[in-house]
Each structure stands twice: as C-alpha cells, then as structure tokens.
Amino acid sequence: MEISPKILYETLSKKFGKQNWWPIDKEYHKKNNSDPRFEIIIGAILTQNTAWSNVEKALNNLKSENIIDSKKISDLDIEYLKKMIKPSGFFNQKAKRLKNISSHLHNNYHDKIDDFFNRSVNEIRKELLSLNGIGPETADSILLYAGNKPVFVVDAYTKRISKRLPLKTNISYDEIQQYFEKNISKNYSKKETPEIYNELHALIVELAKNYCKKKPDCKKCPLQKNCMHNKKSF
C-alpha cells in the first residue's frame, strides 16, 4: 500500500493518539489576562535548535517575571532578556529575535494579536519571513499553532521520513509542504485542515523520536510494512 499524507496521518493517529500541540500554560494566561498565542510565538523562536524541555525552562523564567507580553519584551533590557532565556541556548540571537517580533507587534499592531492574524496567510507569512531570524519553519509554526492557519510545518523529522518512506516528493521545504497540503486539502474540509496539520506534524515528531531515528528502529515502526527504507535494511 502506497503511503500518502492521509494514510500517514491515519496510521500514526491510531498508533500514538491525539497529541494536543502546542503546549501552553492556560492557568498562567487566565490569571494574568494575557494572550496564549504570544506564548506560542515566543516558543516558536526559543525552540530553534534546542529541545522543548529547554524551551520550557526559558518560558518559566519569563512567566515568573510576568513578561509573556509583546510590549513588556519590547521594552525589556536585552541583557536581562538574555539571562531569562539562557536555558534555550543561542540566547544572544534569540533575545534579538524576540525583541524584533515583540517590537513589530507593539509598533505595528498595538500588541493586538487578533489584528496581526486577521489577514491572508500569504500576507502574514511574507511579513514574518521579513523579520530577522524567522525562517519558513518558525513562520509556519507561528501561523499554524498561534494563528490556527491551514499551513503544514516541515521540519528535519518530516524531511527524514519523506526521504525514507519515500513519499512522492523531493526534500526541499516548499516541495514537501505543497505535497502534504495538496493531499490533505483534497481529503479533508477547509475547517478540518488546521487541526489535521497540527496533529500530523506532532505525530511525525513522535514517530521520528521513537522509531524513525537517525539510526531507525524499523522492526517496531508502525510504518514498517510500507517503508522502503525498512525493506532495504533486510
């Protein structure tokens, strides 16, 4: 049986269940009357080149000072911000990136996340990519997880799995994204696609961490019957 994004989603959903990404601290935002979408925006930048456990430490530092807020971060002393996010690694770069996007939201949208996201996907994506340190994966993570936009996020795990199965696509970011979006949008309604993209990306991460590692564990993988990489191993 040929593996398609639809079959990949159904198979991994059956194996791993619902992933419920992006993890946010609902109690914090309820208590502080803050916007959880900005926490996701911060997290999308902090998670660059590091594990999520390190991001959580940095986010907890920011929450302890109650500065999960675009105006507060745009006004914050950058050396203090670096100290707060140090657990996430590359803190010099990330502090600048957090200041940039915070100042952008504050100066251009008066800290109103609704106004930022209340536009076309292409317009928002182009604007995000114009900001220093925000590439396609970070921009698309913000669009999908914070903006609930129908955009599929491609990461290193997706590229690895696309190459190994293999899926009928090349391994560039745009080509993989277009391949997944074309297949999913053909099989699900417009209303469903953001949640499908959300879950599918999270499920691919789960597959890559548990089975399709750099050195894959093909014998236990839920895709072993359909994966050409597995067949080449024997």
Tens digit of each residue's pLDDT (9 = 90 or more) over 96-121 = 999 999 999 999 999 999 999 999 99
pLDDT value for 234: 46
Asked if 144 and 197 count as a contact pair (C-beta separation under 8 A), the reply is yes
Domain residues for the domain of 164 are 5-20+153-232
- Residues 225 and 205: their CA atoms lie apart, in Å, by 20
Same domain, 16 and 106: no
Q: Considering its fold, how many domains does the chain have in total?
A: 2
Q: Tell me which residues of the chain have a pLDDT lower than 70.
A: 1, 231-234
* Half-sphere exposure (Cβ direction) of 30: Cα atoms closer than 13 Å: 4
pLDDT value for 1: 61
For residue 1, with 0-12 CB atoms within 10 Å meaning exposed, 13-18 middle and 19 or more buried, which class applies?
Answer: exposed
Same domain, 124 and 50: yes
Asked if 131 and 104 count as a contact pair (C-beta separation under 8 A), the reply is yes
Same domain, 160 and 92: no
Q: Which two tokens stand for residue 58?
A: 């940095």
pTM: 0.94
Same domain, 53 and 140: yes
Residue position matching structure tokens 């800290």:
111
Using CA atoms, how far residue 78 sits from 20, 49, 74, 81, 167, in Å, is 33, 20, 9, 5, 44
Q: Which two tokens stand for residue 13?
A: 């959903």
- Residues 203 and 83: their CA atoms lie apart, in Å, by 33
For residue 53, with 0-12 CB atoms within 10 Å meaning exposed, 13-18 middle and 19 or more buried, which class applies?
Answer: exposed
The CATH number of residue 10's host domain is 1.10.1670.10
Domain boundary among 107, 128, 146: 146
